[in-house]
Chain A
Amino acid sequence: MDPRKNKICKKPEEKDCRQTKPCGRREFLKGAAKAAALGGAAMLTGCGGGMLGSKEELSLRWKEYFKKHYRLMTQEEKEGTVRRLESLAKIQNGVNIQMSSTAPIDGVLFGYAFNVTRCEGYMECVAACVKENNLDRKSNMQYIRIFEMEHGQLTPEVGNAKFYHQVPVEDHFYMGVQCNQCQNAPCVKACPTKATWQEPDGIVVVDYDWCIGCRYCIAACPYYGRRFNWNDPVVPEEEMTKKQHYLGNRMRGRGQMEKCTFCVQRSRAGRLPACVEACPTGARVFGNLLDPDSEIRFVLKNKKVFRWKEDLGTDPKFWYFVD
């Protein structure tokens, strides 16, 4: 028996049974790696430790590397990791960010409705989304795609998303496509590392640090709602949104998935997602599905609504409606 292993295993604050179970391998490796690194660090101090950054940075990165899965963290641990990421952003890029780990609000299930009649294809929502969510400017990543469709076309798959001319065009309508935040999400089922899951308020989120970049979720998603970082995202500092959320618009890395989160950093603070706020025609409606007085419930009750690919049983929380 390795005495170290036993020592680490007997953490009194560990109450969650899921936590104590994998104690053996993970915690043992962690302990062993710590010991190895201590030796390594002792050597490094002799020959210029500046190569790997300051001692503080090294310690922060170390702790970040061995943190738990976000869902298994307590609120204090979440606060801790958020503070660490803030300090790391300051040390590594000199950016002052405010990150939060706001929990879902009780009695809230977010729903979204898109008015196909009203959308005119001005793409203000896309621009606002890129800005708000710190999307990669190098690969021109966008969460939202607006499809220009002729009257009579029934699915965006036959529409044109690459239009660039004056809009709106006669006899055409515009249909926005983004993550549908399915209640029965195929991407969640496909993920082999449980790096993506649905939060109690209905938002499907990704723990970027837990993602291994296998892209199974892209293959599983019937709505083309997921995006992959082929390179480290490039966002100019002056354009960066500094108010961030751990599960939302914080900076991702190369080889990580990301997706629309209904702007979790905004919606959990009672604000509208950036796309809804930016829409110049009021084609986007957002609100709490569990609130009978909300606007989204009015739309669902009084307008002609449909969901895209409803027959797949994904149960999306994203409705389209016509006037």
Chain B
Amino acid sequence: MKTPTLNHWLYGIWVALLIMIPADEAYTAEGGVVDTYKNATAPFDENTVDAALSLPIPSVLVTERYQGGRFWVETRKDKMQRFKCRQCHNNKPVKVTRAAEIAHGQIALKHGSESRPLSCYTCHKKDERDFLVTEQGTKIDMDHSYQMCGQCHFRQKKDWVGGAHGKRISYWAGQRVVKNCTGCHDPHSPRFKKRWPVIYSPPLSKSQ
């Protein structure tokens, strides 16, 4: 008397499986936007967007490559007030009184841990002031300061090269031109300042 009931159950399970398997397949085949982008592996032809072909701002080629090849970074040297530094910092000592205060008085160095803050010469090359210098002693151009910052902030640099940190300038299409680290952060005091929002949200009214 037991076998018919068992068979009965087995039939039931078979029927349930027959219904569930195609239903499950249909659900997964439906996909959605995640599957859509995961299936899109062909490189995008940037030339289809004609508005973004020229480099809009002064920029230099980054020495590293991201997933899509080469990219550019906004220049820094042409935006610095007193570049070139060797106008004052040549081999002779600076003789102007209070020169440091006049020229660099606005710098408030707040970088690094409180117990071990950074000093000027952690980044600036002492004997060649137009350049930066890494911990290993490699000379770095001011336009390529990301190489300097990336020594410690390597996670941020990895994200910056890929595109998760930092900003692209103006265009999502065309040649990739991004802001340098110093485009957003003050290198001497890199944390963003506390300030007032530029606008406020009105209280929700009616349907908004």
Interface residues of A (CB under 8 A from B): 105-109, 111, 113, 115, 118, 120-124, 126-127, 130, 139-142, 145-146, 161-168, 183-184, 202, 215, 218, 227-228, 230, 267, 269-272, 276-277, 279-282, 285-300, 302-303, 315-317, 321, 323
Contacts and interface: CB of A to CB of B under 8 A. Distances in A.
A158 B83 CA distance: 50
A146 B201 contact: yes
Contacts of B45: 107
A206 B28 CA distance: 30
B197 A122 contact: yes
B33 A183 contact: yes
A165 B197 CA distance: 7
B198 interface: yes
Given A127-B199, A230-B206, A285-B164, A109 B68 contact: no
B194 interface: yes
Interface of B: 32-33, 36-37, 40-45, 48-52, 66-69, 159, 162-168, 170-174, 176, 179, 184, 192, 194-208
Given A113-B164, A271-B51, 16 more contacts: A105-B49, A108-B44, A122-B195, A123-B200, A139-B205, A142-B199, A202-B33, A270-B49, A270-B174, A272-B171, A276-B167, A282-B184, A287-B163, A289-B37, A315-B32, A323-B165
Contacts of A289: 33, 36-37, 40
A190 to B, nearest CB: 14
Contact of B164 (A115, A168, A315): A115
Contacts of A323: 159, 164-165
A281 B196 CA distance: 15
A291 B167 contact: no
Given A164-B197, A270-B173, A298 B192 contact: no
A161 B201 contact: yes
Contacts of B69: 293
A271 B44 contact: no
Given A124-B198, A166-B196, A295-B163, A271 B36 contact: no
B198 A122 contact: yes
